[in-house]
Amino acid sequence: MNIQEVLTEKVKEAFENLYSAALENVEFQATRKDFEGDITVVVFPMLRVKKMNPAQLGEELGQYLVANVAEISRFNVVKGFLNLVVDDSYYLNFFANITKNDTFGHVTPTEGDSAVMVEYSSPNTNKPLHLGHIRNNLLGYSVAEIIKAAGKKVYKTQIINDRGIHICKSMLAWKLFGNGETPESTGLKGDKLVGNYYVEFEKVFQMEFSEWIKTTEGVDKVDEFAKKPETQKMLEEKFSEKYENGEDLSEEIIKAFKKSFKNEYFAKISAIGADAQEMLRKWEAGDEETVALWKQMNQWVYDGFAVTYINLGVDFDALYYESDTYLLGKDFVKEGLESGVFYTKEDGSVWCDLTDDGLSEKIVLRSDGTAVYMTQDIGTAIQRVKDYPDIGGMIYTVGNEQDHHFKVLFLILKKLGFNWSKNLSHLSYGMVDLPEGKMKSREGTVVDADDLMVEMAKTAKEISQELGKLEGYTDEEKEALYKVIGMGALKYFILKVDPKKRILFNPKESIDFAGNTGPFIQYTYARIQSILRKADFDYSAEIGGIDMDIREKEIVKQLQGYPAAVQLAASNQSPAVIANYTYDLVKLYNSFFQNIYILGEENEAKKIFRVQLSKKVGDTIKAAFGLLGIQVPERM
């Protein structure tokens, strides 16, 4: 039983003995730094049960707790706050119990408990992974590791979006302009080669679109668009001065038109768009040549992804492919039609009407019989539960632009009669921006994941050399360490932010050996390992009672909070809880390191305790950073 549980019981007992009253809840908070104390009981809510002066109530409760709780040595009352001082012996006993516990804070799953499946990455096979995918992978992997540490069995998975119109765009562009290029002939990773053809398709499409706008049909469409009240309102708001002066806004009108009309142009007018759609129809019909090209190009991409995942330090227990699961989704669309969950429109497309549930109508099958994303997501969820019957919940790590999609998916699965749908959740996260703005895949302006990881190691090298921190290292050791520091900086910078928040990522800002950064925490871990190497005595011995310095006590109190941090991070699906817990621990340790003798301490018992304390802090940093997928170096 921890101190808070003990105090809860004793405060309730005090109310019964002192006031013959029953107290349901006891509220605690950390003691403010300007008052003496380790834990504070908030008195104000108790006035509903016992009406009296809050300071007097606090005084009487404090006297009772000192007399009846061995761990409480003294107290003080500030208005309605009862600040309690916990005796050093309590913290020393706690520390002695965790010193040799290698899995402190982590819970082993119980046999027979339900499992959680965490989906992340889930890329399209028409382009390499980019900075946005990095946040997705790091977030999903870390959440999976945290949930596992909190005591749940976890399956890590991804759905590879290996079919659809976007894949056909890359395939068609390669067929038209590729001249037989392969990853081997070009020296490019397969995902990069295929991604180049996705960009090439978009360039050709945009040129075609721009030429069409100049035709009679196009000019008429643009004029019609320009005269719409909503277009005029947009122009008035965005270009107010030019609009009021009657200046020529034709370029702005065309840009807005192209953005508004793009999908319709692609679907109904574009020649290259029609070719891509025909390729998709051929693929779904099993056309031999189309399927062979699809398999070849997808394999190039899979080989490229595998390299990126290894460098990123993430893995998966199960892989699903949209090309498989969309068929199961189509089967359940048929069942849903029979049961009345779905209905068919005049053009033959199939929809689900969710307006009574506060959502819109949602298409689940196109008029030509081809599947949409929703179709394959329905099939994927059903297949996963078939494959892993012990799944008690699924977490989808997907950007917040898909919030509506997952509300619809979960509701459709519920309407189809799957009870497990109530245990599905969307780990929605904000986008990653760069100082120069938003990334765009179609225009080829994304930050490539592989390039970014190389750049992070390069930046770590430059900063380390400036600081002169790696004297005595071989070149090979230095290069390995640059990667560890660079990846630690990247991962920590992304994971320390609450998932829901948008991130502005600045690589150089993330690699700093001071402040709330990965390298700062890695450096503290390496410093602790240096202390342990220099400790030329047996520091595993048990120690008797010693007087703790306030800094030592604060570190032990922070260590005591690690299990709760793991559980909170799991329930909130937020690695930021672990990142910021670790930073707070490191700040406390560095204050201790800078102000107190460790190996130079003359008192043997205190010296042993301080080395043990250093080791446990190091172990906890390593464990916590492991949950974030970050390595810690032994030397730095």
Q: Each residue of 586-600: pLDDT tens digit? A: 999 999 999 999 999
How many other C-beta atoms lie within 10 A of the C-beta of residue 22?
Answer: 9
Burial per residue of 214-231, b for 16 or more beta-carbon CB atoms within 10 angstroms, e otherwise: eeeebeebbeebbeeeeb
pLDDT computed for residue 402 by the predictor: 94
Give percent helix, percent strand, percent coil of the chain, each to the nearest 5: 60, 10, 30
The closest of 519, 480, 436 to 131, measured between CA atoms, is: 436
Residue 351 β-bridge partners: 343, 363
Mean pLDDT confidence for 617-632: 98
Under 8 Å CB-to-CB from 281, ≥6 apart: which residues? Answer: 368, 370
Round to whole Å and give the CA distance between 135 and 500. 12
CA 134/CA 122 separation, integer angstroms: 11
Q: What per-residue confidence (pLDDT) applies to 370?
A: 79
Give pLDDT tens digits for 485-509: 999 999 999 999 999 999 988 777 7
Of 389, 381, 382, which Cα lies nearest the Cα of 112?
389
Flag whether pLDDT at 443 surpasses 90: no
Per-residue confidence (pLDDT) for residue 469, from 0 to 100? 66
Contacts of 110 (CB under 8 A, 6+ apart): 151
Examine the pLDDT at 35 and tell me if it is beyond 90: yes
CB 428 within 8 A of CB 499: yes
Superfamily of domain 449-627: Isoleucyl-tRNA Synthetase; Domain 1 (1.10.730.10)
Q: Residues 604, 542: contact at Cβ < 8 Å?
A: no
What is the residue extent of each domain of the chain?
3-86, 109-161+317-447, 163-311, 449-627
Q: Give the range among 169-178, 338-347, 452-461 with minimum mean pLDDT.
A: 452-461
| Six token digits for residue 256 | 């807005």
Question: For the residues 215-241, what does the mean pLDDT come to?
Answer: 93
Beta strands in 197-258 (DSSP E): none
Residue 621 in this model has a pLDDT that exceeds 60: yes
Q: What was the pLDDT predicted at 265?
A: 96
Rounded to whole angstroms, how far apart are CA atoms 448 and 452?
A: 6
CB 194 within 8 A of CB 296: no
Q: How far is 456 from 508, CA to CA, in rounded Å? A: 8
- The answer to whether 23 touches 15, Cβ cutoff 8 Å, is yes
Q: Which two tokens stand for residue 333?
A: 């669309």
Q: What is the DSSP letter of 44?
A: G
Digit-coded pLDDT (tens) for 349-406 = 999 999 999 999 999 998 988 788 899 899 999 999 999 999 999 999 999 999 999 9
DSSP H or E segment with residue 363: strand 361-365
In the predicted structure, residue 631 carries a pLDDT above the cut 80 = yes
Q: In this predicted structure, what is the pLDDT of residue 436? A: 63
Cβ of 534: how many Cβ atoms within 10 Å? 10
Q: Which two tokens stand for residue 522?
A: 């890695």
460-484 confidence digits (pLDDT tens): 898 888 777 677 788 899 999 999 9
Q: What is the pLDDT of residue 471?
A: 74
Give the CATH class of 109-161+317-447. alpha beta
Residues 6+ away with beta carbon under 8 Å from 287: none
DSSP string, 297-318: HHHHHHHHHHHHHHHHT---SE
Q: In this predicted structure, what is the pLDDT of residue 444?
A: 46
pLDDT band at 339 (very low <50, low <70, confident <90, very high): very high
- The pLDDT of residue 368: 83
pLDDT on residue 445:
54
- Give the containing element (helix H, strand E) for 251: helix 250-268
Q: What pLDDT does 245 receive?
A: 86
Residue 338, number of CB atoms within 10 A of its CB: 8
Burial of 84-117, coded b for 16+ CB within 10 Å and e otherwise, reads bbbbbebbbebbeebbeeeebbbeebeeeeebbb
Task: Identify the bridge partners of residue 393 per DSSP, sorted by sequence position.
Answer: 116
Lowest mean pLDDT among 291-300, 336-345, 497-506, 552-561: 497-506
Work out the average pLDDT over 87-98.
94
Neighbours of 28 (CB within 10 A): 16
pLDDT at residue 441, as a whole number: 44
Percentage of the chain lying above the pLDDT 70 cut? 98
Q: Which two tokens stand for residue 272?
A: 């290259």
pLDDT mean across residues, the chain: 93
- Residue 342 tokens, joined: 């779905």
Q: Which residues contact 553 (CB under 8 A, 6 or more apart)?
A: 38, 88, 91
Q: Residue 6's pLDDT band (boundaries 50, 70, 90)?
A: very high
Q: What is the pLDDT of residues 44-88, one digit of tens each?
A: 999 999 999 999 999 999 999 999 999 999 999 999 999 999 999
Answer with the residue of higher pLDDT: 615 or 323. Answer: 615
Cβ atoms of residues 456 and 528 within 8 Å = no
Amino acid letter at 622?
K
- Cβ(207)–Cβ(173) below 8 Å: no
Residue 403 and residue 473 in contact, taking contact as beta carbons nearer than 8 Å: no
Q: Measure the CA–CA gap between 28 and 560, rounded to whole angstroms.
A: 16
Those residues whose C-beta lies under 8 Å from the C-beta of residue 173, and which sit 6 or more positions away, are 197, 198, 200, 201, 204
CB atoms within 10 A of CB 385: 16
Is the model's pTM score more than 0.85? yes
Residue 435 · residue 131 · CB < 8 Å: no
Determine phi and psi for 427, rounding to 5 degrees: -80, 90
3-86: CATH number? 3.30.1360.70
Q: Which residue has the tokens 């009352």?
A: 77
